[in-house]
Amino acid sequence: MLTRPLAACLVGASVLFTAACNSGDSGRPEPTASATSPSPTTVEPSAIAGSDAIAAYRGMWDAFVEAGKVSDPDAPALRKYASGQALRLIVNALYTNREQKEVILGELVLDPKVTALTPAEDPAKATILDCVNDEKWLEHKASGGLANDEPGGRHRTTATVDRTAEGWRVSSFILEGAGTC
């Protein structure tokens, strides 16, 4: 099963303090000038892209988890975060579950990391590596009870996330067998 983790990148701004003291011979003290001016916060395009790609990846898995509760292949949130092969895989799984009168219930655990961003100067594609843990996200009969006795597991997952005109979307992923991470 698939999940998405949220990764945030924080860039701290440094603050520059400048103090200037003037003294004069007028007999009265000159005011001390003190200026505090924060330096502008600069966030690298790669940090923004990485954060946005992770958000889309997590969004896809969250949408899948929600749609899986009722086996809804038409859930709009799926299309907000997934496209191409990734969307087809999820939609097909949900159609199959609906036909078999099954739902997916429980918790999915993600731990995604961005492993590549291209092009470096203004990334439009990200590669994400994850270990998707579906040990507690299992198929159930819609009428109740587990659909089978197959346990979940930890799956090495590699995803491609692309920047599109509508935002970042997971375009493909490979979910390896249980026990691969």
Residue-wise pLDDT tens digits, 122-163: 999 999 999 999 999 999 999 988 888 888 899 999 999 999
Question: Residue 11 falls within a domain, yes or no?
Answer: no
Question: Residue 3 falls within a domain, yes or no?
Answer: no
Question: Residue 140 falls within a domain, yes or no?
Answer: yes
Question: Residue 32 falls within a domain, yes or no?
Answer: no
Residues 6+ apart with CB under 8 A from 141: 101, 102, 103, 147
Domain that holds residue 110: 43-178
- Is 180's pLDDT higher than 90? yes
**Mean pLDDT, all residues of the chain:** 81
Residues 6+ apart with CB under 8 A from 75: 63, 66, 67, 94
140 neighbors 146 (Cβ within 8 angstroms)? yes
Q: Residue 163 belongs to a domain with what CATH number?
A: 3.10.450.240
How far is C-alpha 32 from the geometric centre of its chain's CA atoms? Answer: 49
Q: Are strands 167-178 and 154-164 parallel, antiparallel or unpaired?
A: antiparallel
Compute the Cα dihedral for 63, 64, 67, 68 and give only its sign.
negative
**pTM greater than 0.95:** no
- The count of domains in the chain is 1
For residue 131, what pLDDT is reported? Answer: 98
10-39: per-residue pLDDT in tens?
222 222 222 233 334 444 444 444 445 555
Question: Residue 31 falls within a domain, yes or no?
Answer: no
- Is 172's pLDDT higher than 90? yes
